[in-house]
Amino acid sequence: MFSASGTRHRGSTRTLLSLAAAVVLAVTGSAAATAAPPATASGDARTGTAGLREVMFVGNNWDGTADVIKSSGDLAKIGRINVIPDKDQRLTEIYLNPIKLAFFLGIRQGPGEGHDQFVDDMYSTPDGSAIVVSRPSFADVVSIDLATGQVRWRFPVSGFRADHMAVSPDGKRVAVSASTSNTVHMLDIETGKQLGQFSAGDKPHENVFTDGGKYLWNMSIGEVNTALDDPSMDWTKGDRHITVVDTATYKQVKVIDMRDRLDAFGRKDLSDAVRPVAFTPDESKLYFQVSFFNGFLEYDVATDKITRAKTLPKNPATSEDRTTWVNDSRHHGLSMSPDGNKLCVAGTMDDYATVVDRTTFQEGPLVPTSKPYWATVSGDGKSCIVSESGADQVTAIDFATGKKVASVAVGDHPQRVRIGHVAADWTGPQTP
């Protein structure tokens, strides 16, 4: 049932960010405001367009590539995109700037586990002609032309690292977390022009559009790259909360501090660093993972309370030394079936993925996977798709049976997987 991850990924490389930690400034979020807006389930953009083919983009973080695979069925590979065609130019800029170089090396030794992080998140443009990618080590967002493989536009984020993104339901705007400046930028997906920005908590991470794009929820995770992982040192992790903003004005409308909600629920033992999340289709509940926890929690949006918690099995082969868990993750990856009846959980450090019944919280079979790092939903809605960062493959698990149905090999260290579109006859960028 269980198997230990390969040593290539398992090693404890999460030390203090050597050179970079000395220059990171902690910026706290602003205070809470009025009542919460309604929330709407917001996932990958899936609006079909004539002449386009629905696909999945798989970001190979350490490769600097994105594999394009079928969005359903056998997940067969269609093509591959180099998302760092300007690598030499970016490295020259970094090596000539001592501060940039310090952060570049810090990212390599911290969240990169000894590797550069070349792709975190990606979405296609509405017309399927380009892919927009956040690149942590290069601290930017770029648009790559899918026909030529060349950079269309580039947006350097504030600070020194780009992280998770989200695309608006209409496909026109993309939000990106700038993790070292505690800022979220909103960009025009076609031009790369900044439309607005707002301040979040320490180390903004996951972004989710809600209510048809009217609001954006940002989850800050705090400092996850130090070895100060004992619960007694939790105070060193920074200000972690959910920031909700109006996307018309980029003004904060609510802050949700899960520390208070966790304490009221009787779980003072759990971290308040919210990781991947999933909203129900009816907008009433939010399911979320937190640092160090092998499970997830249920939050009722209307009552502003945590209502249930699910603890999932531990892998007996997993070390209980929290400093060996990558970026403070125990489980990292959460998605929901389109009907709202099933949750899919990536048990990252426990080397499995499982489908959980949302009503009973009963988990299904524990499907062995190697350091699964993300979970999403197939294009036909029938399967949960997880990225196996320890095995360099993507795996589909049937929501109905909880059993593995397909796997496909991809590049080095796949993380984010997103639904998108390409031209119907696309097989990869043209070569000169």
The domain that holds 75 is classified in CATH as: 2.130.10.10
Q: Which helix (H) or strand (E) holds 265?
A: helix 258-265
Which one has a higher pLDDT value, 221 or 3?
221
Q: Cβ of 331: how many Cβ atoms within 10 Å?
A: 28
**Strand 121-124 relative to strand 130-135, pairing:** antiparallel
Dump the DSSP string for 69-83. EESSTT--EEEEEES
Q: What is the pLDDT of residues 76-112, one digit of tens each?
A: 999 999 999 999 999 999 999 999 999 999 999 889 9
Terminus-to-terminus CA distance in the chain, angstroms?
Answer: 48
286 φ, ψ to 5°? -120, 130
326: helix, coil or strand?
Answer: helix
Kindly tell me if the per-residue pLDDT of 278 is higher than 60. yes
414 φ, ψ to 5°? -65, 140
**Strand 77-82 relative to strand 305-311, pairing:** unpaired
Kindly tell me if the per-residue pLDDT of 322 is higher than 90. yes
Kindly tell me if the per-residue pLDDT of 169 is higher than 70. yes
Model pLDDT, residue 432: 54
Would you say residue 266 lies in a domain?
A: yes
Residue 200 vs residues 84, 104, 166, 192: alpha-carbon distances, Å: 28, 22, 15, 21
Task: Of 12-21, 259-268, 319-328, give the lowest mean pLDDT range.
Answer: 12-21
Rounded to the nearest angstrom, the gap between the alpha carbon of residue 286 and the centroid of all alpha carbons in its chain is: 16
Would you say residue 87 lies in a domain?
A: yes
Kindly tell me if the per-residue pLDDT of 236 is higher than 80. yes
Kindly tell me if the per-residue pLDDT of 177 is higher than 90. yes
CB 118 within 8 A of CB 61: yes
Would you say residue 1 lies in a domain?
A: no
Question: What average pLDDT score do residues 195-203 get?
Answer: 97
Question: In the chain, how long is the greatest CA-to-CA distance?
Answer: 61
Q: What is the pLDDT of residues 350-379, one digit of tens each?
A: 999 999 999 999 999 999 999 999 999 999
Cross-strand partners of 387: 374, 394
Would you say residue 392 lies in a domain?
A: yes
> What distance in Å separates the CA atoms of residue 346 and residue 364, rounded to the nearest whole number?
13
Q: Cβ of 427: how many Cβ atoms within 10 Å?
A: 12
303: helix, coil or strand?
Answer: coil
Model pLDDT, residue 148: 97
Would you say residue 24 lies in a domain?
A: yes
Token pair for 42: 């917001």
Residue appearing with tokens 């125990």:
330
Kindly tell me if the per-residue pLDDT of 46 is higher than 70. no
Model pLDDT, residue 12: 36
222: helix, coil or strand?
Answer: coil
Burial class (CB in 10 A: 0-12, 13-18, 19+), 274: buried
Residues of the domain holding 49: 7-423
Token pair for 283: 């907008």
Token pair for 123: 């979405």
Would you say residue 429 lies in a domain?
A: no
10: helix, coil or strand?
Answer: helix
Question: What average pLDDT score do residues 186-210 get?
Answer: 97
Dump the DSSP string for 122-173. EEE-TTSSEEEEEEGGGTEEEEEETTT--EEEEEEPSSS-EEEEEE-TTSSE
CB 208 within 8 A of CB 81: no
* pLDDT tier for residue 229 given thresholds of 50, 70 and 90: confident
> What distance in Å separates the CA atoms of residue 45 and residue 167, rounded to the nearest whole number?
7
Model pLDDT, residue 431: 61
Burial class (CB in 10 A: 0-12, 13-18, 19+), 425: exposed
Count of structural domains, the chain? 1
427: helix, coil or strand?
Answer: coil
Q: Cβ of 35: how many Cβ atoms within 10 Å?
A: 8
Apex 32 CA angle, 178 and 302, nearest 5: 105
Q: Which amino acid is at 285?
A: K
Q: What is the pLDDT of residues 378-406, one digit of tens each?
A: 999 999 999 999 999 999 999 999 999 99
Kindly tell me if the per-residue pLDDT of 10 is higher than 80. no
Q: Give the whole-number percent of the chain exceeding pLDDT 90.
A: 84
Of residues 169, 165, 211, the one with CA closest to residue 186: 165
Kindly tell me if the per-residue pLDDT of 37 is higher than 90. no
CB 369 within 8 A of CB 389: no
Would you say residue 428 lies in a domain?
A: no
Ramachandran category for residue 89: left, alpha or beta (phi over 0 → left; psi -120 to 50 → alpha): alpha
Q: What is the pLDDT of residues 140-166, one digit of tens each?
A: 999 999 999 999 999 999 999 999 999
- Chain mean pLDDT for the chain: 90
> What distance in Å separates the CA atoms of residue 322 and residue 319, rounded to the nearest whole number?
8
DSSP class of residue 431 equals: P
Rounded to the nearest angstrom, the gap between the alpha carbon of residue 358 and the centroid of all alpha carbons in its chain is: 22
CB 144 within 8 A of CB 133: yes
Token pair for 385: 């798709």
Would you say residue 186 lies in a domain?
A: yes
* pLDDT tier for residue 40 given thresholds of 50, 70 and 90: very low
Q: Give the whole-number percent of the chain exceeding pLDDT 70.
A: 88
